[in-house]
Chain A
Amino acid sequence: MNRLPRSVVAALAAVPAAALAVFFVWPFATIVSEALSGAAIRDTVTRRSTWEIVWFTSWQALLSTIVTIVIGLAPAAVVARFDFPGRGVLVGLLTAVFVLPTVVMGAAILALLPDALDRTVLAIVAAHVVFNLAVVVRLVGAMWELLPTDMEAAAATLGASRWRVFTDVSLPLIRPALTAAATVVFLFSFTSFGVIRVVGATGTRTIEVEVWRRATQLGDLGGAAVLTLLQLALLGVVVAWSTTLQRRHSRALGLRLRSPRRVPSGRSEQRVVTAIVVGTFAVVAAPLAALVIRSFSTPTGWSTAAWTDLGRTEIRPGLRVGVDPWNAVVNSLTTAVWATTFAVTIGALASLAIAAAGQAGRFLDAGLMLPLGTSAVTIGFGMLITFDVAPFDWRASWWLVPVGHALVAVPFVVRATLGVLRSVDPDLTAAAATLGASPTRAWYETVVPYLWRPLAAGAGLATAISLGEFGATSFLSRSGGETMPIAIERLLGRTGSILQAQGYALATMLAAVTVLVVVLTDRVQSFTRPTTSRRRG
């Protein structure tokens, strides 16, 4: 992998590095330097609640991550290894749950959990697990799918139990993807905002919630800046540790371009696969079913009005709600297309550069993760005071929202791609070079074909992230149309049964659009899969 000429690596790295510098580092530095003061640091550090919040944020995130990984491994394996009816839909549903607005998801979680668990930390963890299952299944699954099956088969032939095969063969091989997924889930849980506010006990605060509260409700920007830095420092340590781990555990593997998925064979295997598939369906279908039901319910009974009136401009003669669901769908899709384009371009270039650049790549790798760990309100405010003078007068430009989404989505593209890239056997590139290919050509021919699968997985996640993104969208000033999550939030923020039911109808549409997008990306992905398979070993 280190065979690419230095100049090519630098050229690859330039775009992602510049994007990160302009849209993250610069606004972040501007807002922090503007707001930070000695007094703010002193006040924050000496406030007892600061440390309680830091402690709570950390342990709930750790617990959420462990539970999500443990629960997510089984569906990841099944989705990667087996063909079964409804496989695409299952992945689509998982992703749809991932993008649900927290206000909607929270309601479902509260409805499903026994009353005794409502508003406990367990409710928070449950919500994080259901939300983030898709991250584990997609990131780990994307890697698992490319692993050669022969090692597992060999171990099984030699008499290893299924469990031994998993712990001794598969687990070490998927560790880079597992670390990547764990890092992302940890980042999401650590910076959790909506879940905490909706399902947590009242007054429960993560650092992210406290940053929002200080910056917007109390006007204490200094305190918010200190907390943002604290959050970033803590996450910086975690991200640095995880990128090191990922590098250490990466090894060259005989990756496969063709999916080795098969139909489960034998009774016990069929039973295990069925149990896992049904279980996963149940977990993700429950909140989605709750949505659909609520779009039909009113205080006085059942009604289809939310659906039949959807998109009708007038609710009563002369009375309009001002939320156009179809317009919101179009806005969301347009935004998602741009965000995905930005994220995939930046993410692909970044992964190639990181994989080829050695030590220096670690900085870019960790740097691109940072927006995930930075409070959305901080970045939103930073952009506001950074991009306010010509020629950078970009406040409220239409593309600022998709760029914000892309900042959040890039790490997913990188995580999905990098593990696979690092596993490409350097012998292949060497062989191509021996056969007379220039270094760049050799690399292009041997590395790039492995990119499509993880890039498609990354693109699917990026689209999903953009479709469901609420935080950054709500903190960036915007004009000219609401995305679906914003419109849902607005409908559910007003009194009246029609508005409530329409909010849930729109949430159902958001879930449906997401499933559709994910199923479609999977289709496209199978079309773009190269037909020439390089069989080795």
Chain B
Amino acid sequence: MRHHRSHRSFVGLAIASAVLAASCGSGDGSDEASSGDTVAVGAPPNEPRTVTSGDGVEDVSGVTLVTYDSFPEADTSLNDALDRFTAATGIDVQILVAGDTGTMLSKAALTAGNPEGDVMWGIDNSFLSRAIDDDIFEPYLVGGIENIPSELTELVPNGEATPVDFGDVCVNYDIGWFDDRGLEPPSTLDDLIDPAYAGTLVVQNPATSSPGLAFLLATIDEYGTDGWQAYWQALGDNGVEVVESWTQAYYERFTWAGGGPTPMVVSYGSSPPAEVIFADPARDDAPTGVIADTCFRQVEFAGVLRGTPATAEARQLVDFLAGADFQNELALNLFVYPANTTVELPQEFTDHAVVPDDPRSLDPVVIDENRSAWIDEWTELVLG
């Protein structure tokens, strides 16, 4: 079945070379990284695979892609792309859904070294530092890393994982609601505490919701670790509503999608194009807009899971996940932006999505160190 021994040497080589790559090119951009790449790729994707299972018989090989629960298991063009990978390489890809991102990471941490699968898709920057500390990934510099912008790759200077897509969590507003009242929608975080917008925003609890946490991080980015508390105090005074999950916020409370009372909601930068693409009846213009100043950047990563018995195949899959064929399908299936800059965005996206010029972000290490304390403090302040 799987071939355990033959790839151990590659593991050692990969770690050694990744450390080497990191030490000579620490965060200096893509040139060093891509030169490191040629060193780190233990098994070039196009080299014929030498399958040496115990009895010497060539088996049909396969890898398991561990992913979060919004990743489609079948029947989409994303799955078709994976089928093309199988057709080209002979490597079968099985999708294993491990839960939401937090659950997936906790499982991977528990099984680090003896993972459930071979490749993981979907750890985001708010969990990245925990994933690295828990040592779930085996460093690997992806083939074609020169096609990924350096501001993404420098989040993983040691090559633990590969940035594969990004998106933004932003305040969305109901365009019709504001038009009807002749009111200009807010344009900054500061505007949200203006009494003119009292009672118009619903957010998610950062303790239990990933967009909720991203919005809290956006405010920490703007007002600093000592200033966000006062901002949230003011948001509370201005009647911000807090609910537990995205589904509740968007489909129960938001004026546009849920017939609720609240015309602004924390959602995604890609929600307006999704509203056009999945509109019933069909429509040409987005019913919702995005307030660019509120956007917090989420970057998702894929990586080889440490302890996989199929390192070479796992690396080939990671190369494919970051390659143009697969990246092409991301926008319309996961509603995220491909990390690969050679990919063109679909028309619906370029027409209706807002990509903020300067999205907010925080260092993953800082997020991880403070997440728990910030959430506790937020809970005390806003719910307490």
Chain A residues near B (Cβ < 8 Å): 34, 103, 106-107, 110, 197-198, 200, 202-203, 209, 213, 215-221, 298-300, 303, 305-306, 313, 315-316, 318-324, 327, 377, 381, 384-385, 388-389, 395-396, 474-475, 477-482, 486, 489-490, 492-501
Contact = CB atoms under 8 A, between A and B. Distances in A.
Contact of B106 (A219, A300, A389): A219
Contacts of B95: 479
Interface stretch (B83-91, B241-249, B311-319, B359-367): B241-249
Contacts of A490: 69-70
A321 B70 CA distance: 11
B195 interface: no
Q: Which 8 pairs of residues, A with B, have the shortest CB-CB distance?
A: A496-B278, A322-B72, A203-B383, A495-B274, A322-B76, A216-B102, A216-B103, A202-B242
Interface in B317-334: 332-333
Interface of B: 64, 66, 69-70, 72-79, 94-100, 102-103, 105-107, 109-111, 114, 116, 130, 134, 205, 207-208, 242-248, 250-252, 256-257, 259, 267-268, 270-271, 274-275, 277-281, 287, 332-333, 335, 371-372, 375, 379, 383
Contacts of B281: 298, 300, 303, 305
A37 to B, nearest CB: 15
Contacts of B379: 203
B302 to A, nearest CB: 17
Nearest to A313: B75
Given A219-B130, A300-B281, A496-B278, A385 B72 contact: no
A412 B105 CA distance: 34
Given A300-B281, A477-B97, A496-B279, A320 B335 contact: no
Contact of A496 (B78, B94, B277, B375): B277
Contacts of A481: 73-74
A498 B279 contact: yes
Given A219-B109, A305-B280, A495 B97 contact: no
Contacts of B77: 318, 320
A493 B103 contact: no
Contacts of A500: 251, 257
Contacts of A110: 252
B337 to A, nearest CB: 15
Contacts of B335: 494-495
A107 B79 CA distance: 32
Contacts of B130: 219
B96 A497 contact: no
A359 B79 CA distance: 56
Contact of A320 (B76, B246, B259, B274): B76
Contact of B205 (A107, A202, A221): A202
A103 B249 CA distance: 12
Nearest to A201: B383
Contacts of A107: 251-252
13 contacts: A106-B248, A203-B207, A209-B208, A298-B281, A305-B281, A322-B75, A384-B110, A477-B96, A486-B69, A495-B271, A497-B257, A498-B279, A500-B251
A481 B270 CA distance: 27
Contact of A299 (B242, B259, B274): B259
Contacts of B134: 219
B300 to A, nearest CB: 16
Given A320-B76, A479-B94, A497-B280, A474 B69 contact: yes
Contacts of A388: 111, 114
Interface centre among A107, A322, A396 (most CB of B within 10 A): A322
A292 B135 CA distance: 47
B111 A495 contact: no
Nearest to B261: A115
B99 A477 contact: yes
A217 B104 CA distance: 10
Contacts of B98: 477
Given A495-B268, A497-B278, 6 more contacts: A197-B244, A215-B106, A385-B110, A475-B99, A493-B70, A496-B278
Contacts of B375: 218
Contacts of A495: 250, 257, 267-268, 270-271, 274-275, 278, 335
Contact of B208 (A213, A219, A389, A499): A213
A95 B309 CA distance: 46
Contact of B278 (A209, A300, A315): A315
A298 B257 CA distance: 8
Contacts of A499: 278
Contacts of B116: 384, 395-396, 477
B91 to A, nearest CB: 16
A203 B271 CA distance: 26
A299 B79 CA distance: 31
A203 B378 CA distance: 11
Given A197-B245, A494-B70, A319 B251 contact: no
Nearest to B378: A203
Nearest to B267: A495
A497 B279 contact: yes
Contacts of B109: 219
A218 B371 contact: yes
B172 to A, nearest CB: 9
Contacts of A200: 244
A384 B372 CA distance: 25
Contacts of B252: 107, 110
A384 B107 contact: yes
Contacts of A316: 277
A220 B107 CA distance: 12
B73 to A, nearest CB: 7
A525 B72 CA distance: 40
Given A203-B207, A388-B114, A496-B274, A482 B106 contact: no
Given A197-B245, A202-B242, A498 B73 contact: no
A224 B359 CA distance: 35
